[in-house]
Chain A
Amino acid sequence: MATKILDLPEEEYMLPGNRACAGCSLGIGLRHILKALGGNCIFAVPASCLTVLGGMYPTSSVRIPWMNVVFPSTGAAASGLAAGLKAIGREDITVVAMAGDGGTADIGIQALSGAAERNANFLYICYDNEAYMNTGTQRSGSTPIGARTTTTPAYGKRQHQKDVPKIMEAHGIPYIATACPSFPTDLYDKVKKAVGKQGTRYMHMCAPCPSGWQFPAKDTVEMGRMAVEVGAVILYEIEDGAFRLTSRSKKLAEQGGLKALRDYIAPQGRFKGMEEETIDHMQAWINRRWQQCIRRDAEGQA
C-alpha cells in the first residue's frame, strides 16, 4: 500500500539552518530518505553537495552517524562499514552510501561496481543533479545532451547521459529503483522497501538544482515533476529482476504518455539556445527508453 503524505513520519533527522542552497531538492529528498530509515543507519558520503549540507566541523546538520569518505571510494567505504558492523555484531544498522552523480557515475563507479558484484550489504543512493554542482556545475557522465555547463559552455554537452541504474542492473543486485523528491511518498516507500532487503540495493534520485539548471528556486518541485512528465526521469523499480513502473510514471503509461520535452527544456537556463536537432536527439533518446520501460512493465504484469 502506497504511503500518503499525511502518513509520512513527523520525526526529522535533517536539521534546519544547514548549508544547502535555498530550494535545493536534496534537502527534500534527504528528509524523506531519513524518515524512511528512521535513524538506525550509518551514512558514507563522498565529496559532494551533500557534504556541504552535512555541515562543517564541529557541527553537523544531521542526527544520524555519518562518515565522510574520499571521492572515488563510496562503494568500498560502505562495504567496509557493512563488514565492520558485521564483525562487531551490529548488523541491525543499515549502511547507506549517498553520493552525487559525479561520485557515482564517474569517479566512484569502479568502487560501486566492485561492491555490487560482491553484493555488499548496503543501500546506495545516487542523487543526480546532472553535473558537478559542488565544484561549480561542470559536466558529468550524467549531464543530459544539450545542457550547458562550465565545461561545455558554448554548445552544451554533446553526449547523452549515462544510464547508471541500467549499469547497476547488469550486476544482478536485488533492488534497483529510481526516484525524485517531487514524489516524496514514492521515494519514501522505495527506501522502506530497500531497507527490508539484504545485499546491494541501488537507488537513483533525480535532484533538480536551481543554480546549476538555472531556474528559480521556487520551481524545484515543479522541475522534478516536469522531468517525470516528459520522461527525462522515469520512476520505476526492479525487484529481484522484476521491472515495474511506479507512481506518476505508471499513471503516464496508463493514461496515454509523455508531455513534449520542450515543456521541460524551456524553463531551464542550462538548455537556453539548444539546437532543434539536439532537442530531437534527446526526444528520440527519451522515447526509446520510455518504450522500453513500458514494454518491461507489461512483461512484469504478464
Chain B
Amino acid sequence: MGTRDCGQKSAMSSPCIGEAGRTGDWRSTRPEFDPAKCLAVKAGRPACFQCWAYCPEGVIKKEVGSEVDLTYCKGCGICVEVCPSGAITMIPEPEEE
C-alpha cells in the first residue's frame, strides 16, 4: 500500500489534535490547582477564568474547577503567573522510571 491511496494531488492537511504529538512530553514541571484558592470554585459559579484565557495552548477548560489537559500542556507556567489568587503552582514532573 503506497501513499497514492490517500487520493491527494497536492498537500491538504486536515485538523488534528496533537499535530506535534503528545506535547505534554515537552514539560519538566506541571501546573497543579488548589481548588480552595480558585476564585471560580470559591464563588461556585463561572468567574475569573484568567488561566483559561491566557493559556497559549488552549488546554485549560472554561469551567469552574478548571482542568488541564496534561497530554498537551507544554508546562509554560503562564497560568501560574496570571492567576490572581495563587491557586496554581508548578510542580516537578516525576522522574521517568
Chains A and B share a contact (CB less than 8 Å) = yes
Instruction: Provide the residues of chain A in CB contact with B55, threshold 8 Å.
Output: 27-28
B11 to chain A: which residues have CB within 8 Å? 57-58
- Over the window 28-52 of chain A, the binary record of Cβ atoms lying under 8 Å from chain B Cβ atoms (1 yes, 0 no) is 1001100000000000000000000
Residue of A15, A25, A32 with most chain B CB atoms under a 10 A cut-off? A15
CB within 8 Å for A221 and B57 given contacts A59-B13, A60-B13: no
Among candidates B15, B46, B57, B74, residue contacting A63 with C-beta atoms closer than 8 Å: B15
Select B23's contact among A17, A58, A184, A218, beta carbons within 8 Å: A17
- Chain A residues 1-28 with CB under 8 Å of chain B are 5-6, 8, 10, 12, 14-28
Q: Which residues of A contact B47 (CB under 8 A)?
A: 6
Asked if residues A62 and B20 are in contact (CB atoms below 8 Å), the reply is no
Asked whether A5 lies within 8 Å of B53 as measured between CB atoms, the reply is yes
User: Which B residues lie within 8 Å of A222 (CB)?
Assistant: 81
Interface centre among A6, A16, A28, A61 (most CB of B within 10 A): A16
Having A17-B19, A22-B27, A57-B11, one finds 20 other A-B pairs with CB under 8 Å, namely A6-B47, A15-B17, A15-B19, A16-B59, A17-B18, A18-B23, A22-B56, A22-B74, A23-B76, A27-B57, A28-B54, A31-B56, A57-B13, A60-B19, A61-B16, A61-B19, A181-B54, A218-B90, A220-B78, A221-B82
Nearest 10 interchain pairs by C-beta: A27-B56, A218-B77, A17-B18, A23-B76, A22-B74, A60-B13, A16-B72, A59-B16, A55-B19, A17-B72
28 inter-chain pairs at a CB distance below 8 angstroms, sorted by A residue, are: A5-B48, A5-B50, A6-B49, A10-B62, A15-B15, A15-B16, A16-B17, A16-B59, A17-B17, A17-B57, A18-B57, A23-B77, A25-B56, A27-B56, A27-B58, A28-B78, A32-B53, A55-B13, A56-B19, A58-B14, A59-B14, A59-B19, A60-B13, A60-B16, A61-B15, A217-B78, A218-B78, A221-B78
